[in-house]
Amino acid sequence: MTTNSAPADPAGNQTTALRTHLCGVLRATDEGARVTVCGWVARRREHGEHLAFLDLRDHSGVIQCVIDNKVDVRSEWVIAITGTVRRRPAGTVNPGLATGEVEVGECTVEVLNEADAPPFSVDDRDESDEPVRLRYRYVDLRRPRMQRNLRLRARVNAAIRSAMDRQGFCEVETPLLWAPTPEGSREFSVPSRLHHGSFYALPQSPQLAKQLLMVGGFDRYYQIARCLRDEDLRADRQFEFSQLDMEMSFASQDDVMACVSEGVLDAAEAATGERPPPITRMTWADALNRFGTDKPDLRFEMELVDLSTEFAHTEVRAFSGSHVKALRVPEGGSFSRSRIDSLVEQAKRAGAAGLAWFRVTAGDAAGDAAGTGAGTQPLGLDSPLDRFLSETERAAVLEKTGAKEGDLLLAVSDTHRIACSVLGTLRATLGSPPVGQGPHHYVWVVDFPMFDGVDAAGNPQAAHHPFTMPYAEDLPLLDTDPFAVRSQAYDLVLNGWELGSGSVRIHRRDIQSRIFATLGITSEEAESRFGFLLNAFRYGAPPHAGFAYGIDRLAAILAGEENIREVIAYPKTQSGADPLTGAPSPLPARALVELGIRTVGPPPDTRPAPPPT
């Protein structure tokens, strides 16, 4: 199963005034047809004055055209060729080309536009550095890879829209110019020309707008929404990204997950030609315990093993933390000492006090190695810590991890959260294939804790957001043990990437007040921060729940890419610059005056210049 198996030209021949056929659609059944094809010169093979082959490319593919005289065209010139489709002579069929059985002969060539030699080859075989690709993105987009990725993304969008529409969702657009919120992730600000000194914010998501739509009686809303966050960029994060944003009234978490799943699975099927199995579920606690993260990559095993009981009364100081978790790395026993040391370093960066490691060796009957029990091959441990272990501890480690000779065992002893998350990080480092590779393993992670950590004032912080509804049966815990309260929040995870998250929202004022109280938010504060939402909720807010997931991430994985820039036409670099346009760039003084803005410091003069015209 490849990701590019869907037809390149589902819309048919796309005949226009200038052409009769697309390049990539011609087949033996077209033999004898007089055709005109338009496109770019992909390659030419000249054989003296009386024979030349031109490979003409458009988005649908490549067709070989045979020129019986001299022709002066160069790579990437835009030309139209009129000729007759004919079968290729015996022995010259090109099975590597969809159009390889035929060629266009008796050609006349019309040059529609000459072109400079491209800065890099328009060919998937040649890989260029990203800065060059982005600077000449219009050339890069001509490459089959980008054509395939962006067209795949278009099919994903279409499938999602169709699924949401089919399920009764109403597409509503929400403002890009929105009110700044006093907290949260950094927003982009837009100065107001009509109100000097005041600013709009570009929305991080349409979260509040869509909840108001529920109050407004839309019942089921969706939108492929552009969201903007002024946070540092990553392989899976751009300033601007697109989410399938949805919200539904009188609905449970299960209802939301069913509707979202439908769209995601349809999108996957549209992209790959294959419908994934129904999406499985896992609790947050399970994900943390077994995979050390709330976004588990289920493409491979390597589950964490809990050794807390076995080491509850240990004499070994390194294992004296409240919890002991272990990770078996198959075949990891061959890792060099320096590689193991770098794992130890990584564990420390991730927050562990240390990382215990054991190479699993064949047991030495004469030595101090312990067997794992009668009838099994005795195994030993090669580790600086081994001599501190009791025989029962050594046996427990070997048995509970399922260790085999040649494995490497890693263990962290710390708080439960740290032990899990550190090993989860190591598991991902050691086991994860590139995100776009291998099977697509979707999973819903449910039952998140309501609160996660404390703020500077010592108040619990909302893990999702303050409007997330706790489980009704956990409400009594708000006063006694808030960190045990589970929320009706859920994430969708694919291959270790968080695709999106959502929740059942609080629609009752009494519960909202209790949550604000737990968070340490006074009613005055709540009024100033969320006033218009709370106000709206006085006028008949239905119970509602929603979700949003990143289309860039979904499309990237479905396209087999590891980076969302590969499914975005005009992405920005990690420092937020656009090599194509030179953005961001200083504003002329006159524009600043009009906006009532005065800048501080000299304008940066280190921007990359746009390419020469």
Contacts with RNA, residue ranges (CB under 7 A): 43, 45-51, 53, 55, 64, 66, 74-75, 88-89, 91-94, 96-97, 100, 103, 105, 117, 119-121, 125-132, 183-186, 204-205, 207, 229, 231-237, 349, 461-462, 464-465, 563, 565, 573-575, 577, 579, 606, 608
Pairing relation of β-strands 408-414 and 323-329?
antiparallel
**At its nearest, how many Å lie between RNA and the CB of residue 169?**
20
Pairing relation of β-strands 61-67 and 52-58?
antiparallel
**At its nearest, how many Å lie between RNA and the CB of residue 465?**
4
Q: What span, in angstroms and rounded, lies between the C-alpha atoms of 203 and 223?
A: 14
> Which H helix or E strand runs over 224?
strand 220-228
Nearer to RNA, 86 or 404 (CB): 86
Nearer to RNA, 319 or 516 (CB): 516
Nearer to RNA, 111 or 395 (CB): 111
Q: What span, in angstroms and rounded, lies between the C-alpha atoms of 217 and 248?
A: 10
Beta strands in 134-176 (DSSP E): 170-171
**At its nearest, how many Å lie between RNA and the CB of residue 421?**
9
**At its nearest, how many Å lie between RNA and the CB of residue 404?**
30
The two three-digit tokens of residue 497, written as one number:
């990437």
Beta bridge partners of 224: 244
Q: What span, in angstroms and rounded, lies between the C-alpha atoms of 151 and 544?
A: 34
Nearer to RNA, 91 or 375 (CB): 91
Q: What span, in angstroms and rounded, lies between the C-alpha atoms of 250 and 247?
A: 10
Q: Which residues contact 54 (CB under 8 A, 6 or more apart)?
A: 41, 43, 44, 64, 65, 67, 71, 73, 79, 81, 107, 109
Cα–Cα distances (Å) from 26 to 6, 58, 76, in that order, read 17, 12, 21
Nearer to RNA, 99 or 253 (CB): 99
**At its nearest, how many Å lie between RNA and the CB of residue 352?**
13
DSSP assignments along 22-79, one per residue? -GGG--GGGTT-EEEEEEEEEEEEE-TTS-EEEEEEETTEEEEEEESS-----TT-EE
Nearer to RNA, 103 or 247 (CB): 103
The two three-digit tokens of residue 568, written as one number:
């975005």
Q: 43 phi and psi, to 5 degrees?
A: -165, 150
Q: What span, in angstroms and rounded, lies between the C-alpha atoms of 319 and 312?
A: 9
Nearer to RNA, 88 or 404 (CB): 88
Q: 336 phi and psi, to 5 degrees?
A: -70, 160
Nearer to RNA, 46 or 254 (CB): 46
**At its nearest, how many Å lie between RNA and the CB of residue 369?**
37
| CB of 110 closer than 8 Å to CB of 80 | yes
Nearer to RNA, 127 or 254 (CB): 127
Nearer to RNA, 161 or 565 (CB): 565
Please report, for the chain, how many H helices and E strands are present, in that order. Answer: 14, 22
**At its nearest, how many Å lie between RNA and the CB of residue 245?**
11
Nearer to RNA, 14 or 573 (CB): 573
Nearer to RNA, 96 or 375 (CB): 96
CB-CB neighbours of 396 under 10 Å: 19
Q: What span, in angstroms and rounded, lies between the C-alpha atoms of 301 and 329?
A: 10
**At its nearest, how many Å lie between RNA and the CB of residue 290?**
20
End-to-end CA distance of the chain: 42
**At its nearest, how many Å lie between RNA and the CB of residue 202?**
13
Q: What span, in angstroms and rounded, lies between the C-alpha atoms of 111 and 604?
A: 43
Q: 572 phi and psi, to 5 degrees?
A: -105, 160
Pairing relation of β-strands 220-228 and 170-171?
parallel
**At its nearest, how many Å lie between RNA and the CB of residue 72?**
8
Length of the chain measured in residues: 613
Nearer to RNA, 79 or 577 (CB): 577
> Which H helix or E strand runs over 249?
strand 240-249
| Amino acid residing at 293 | T
**At its nearest, how many Å lie between RNA and the CB of residue 52?**
8
Q: What span, in angstroms and rounded, lies between the C-alpha atoms of 147 and 23?
A: 15
DSSP assignments along 503-526, one per residue? EEBP--HHHHHHHHHHHT--HHHH
| CB of 81 closer than 8 Å to CB of 96 | no
Nearer to RNA, 406 or 520 (CB): 520
